Amino acid sequence: MSFLADVGLADNHTSLHKLKGGYLNSVWRFDTGNRRLVAKQFATPMTGTLFPNLPEDEAEELRRLSGFDVAPDLVGFWPEALLLVYDYVDGEMWNGDMAGVARLLKRKEIADPTGFRDVPVTFEEILSEGDALFSRCKNNPAAPRPGPCQLSSLEKRSLIHTDIGANLVGEGDGLRLIDWQCPAAGDVCEDIYSFLSPAFNILAERNPLTEEQVAKFWQTLNRPDLMERYTAIKVAFAWRFAGYCAWRAEVHEDADVCARYQKAVEAELTYMKEAS
């Protein structure tokens, strides 16, 4: 609170309300004047994970997406304090509005990904990341590694979130994508995967999407080229994320979270098998 006061964003009448965040950083909501804001205090960056904690990148991403109606508006970033402040997004957590997500992803495609970290976009590179994650685990599931796939070269890299999962707030054209601490320049299909994947939904404490919901998403997106690419590449994404969840299930300190990760592993391997 004292730091927020020093930068003119808080006073004696300001109260902080802890928000339910993700699995790493601490997030609060606070009101100042006629504005409702969010303060994010970044934890020590993790290494060797699919989701690095990159405060400078999140601040740059919020600047980059300003005016696109995709992400919250940036208020300020103080790297010395690892503190980011942005406008609070009014509304409930995502409630099943498939068309709204499809339209949000279309708006996001306008953004320039230049300067953000490059992530793997080929089938084999993605599988190899999964191999590395499974190699850390003491008990690997009895699931075969997916075979090779003929996949056309990616036409362009997009600015991707990489972890859409539980990070959608609002509905319709007011829907926003929050918690951009691990943005990248990559394949937009990775973002589509992190929304459609059963494991991501389980970790967001939601039920996996139904076939009808998925069909509504693709109908609204109206990008048969992306649907074709996603259908081919989702097996690789599923292998990699199953490896990630298996590793996290073994190393996380919270037993309930470990159980959720294990459930996600089983769901993702089923998703991978059905897609093969």
Reported as a single tens digit per residue, the pLDDT across 163-212 is: 998 899 998 999 999 999 999 999 999 999 999 999 999 999 999 999 99
Q: What whole-number distance in Å separates Cα of residue 234 and Cα of residue 1?
A: 44
Amino acid at 273: K
Give me the residue spans of the domains in the chain.
Answer: 2-87, 98-275
Q: What whole-number distance in Å separates Cα of residue 126 and Cα of residue 237?
A: 7
Q: What whole-number distance in Å separates Cα of residue 152 and Cα of residue 28?
A: 43
Q: Which CATH number fits domain 2-87: 3.90.1150.10, 1.20.120.80, 3.40.109.10, 3.30.200.20?
A: 3.30.200.20
**Can you say how many angstroms the Cα of residue 48 is from the centroid of all Cα atoms in its chain?**
17
Q: Indicate the Cα dihedral angle 72, 108, 271, 171, nearest 10°.
A: 50
Structure tokens at 169: 């707030």
Would strands 176-177 and 168-169 be described as parallel, antiparallel, or unpaired? antiparallel
Global pTM reads 0.94
Reported as a single tens digit per residue, the pLDDT across 10-31 is: 777 777 888 876 567 889 999 8
* CATH T-level assignment (fold) for domain 98-275: Aminoglycoside 3'-phosphotransferase; Chain: A, domain 2 (3.90.1200)
Residue 22 has a pLDDT of: 59
Q: What whole-number distance in Å separates Cα of residue 267 and Cα of residue 57?
A: 31
Reported as a single tens digit per residue, the pLDDT across 226-259 is: 999 999 999 999 999 999 999 999 999 899 999 9
Residue 233 has a pLDDT of: 96
Provide the strand spans (E) within 63-182: 74-78, 83-87, 158-160, 168-169, 176-177
Reported as a single tens digit per residue, the pLDDT across 143-157 is: 899 998 988 899 999
Mean pLDDT of all residues in 250-273? 93
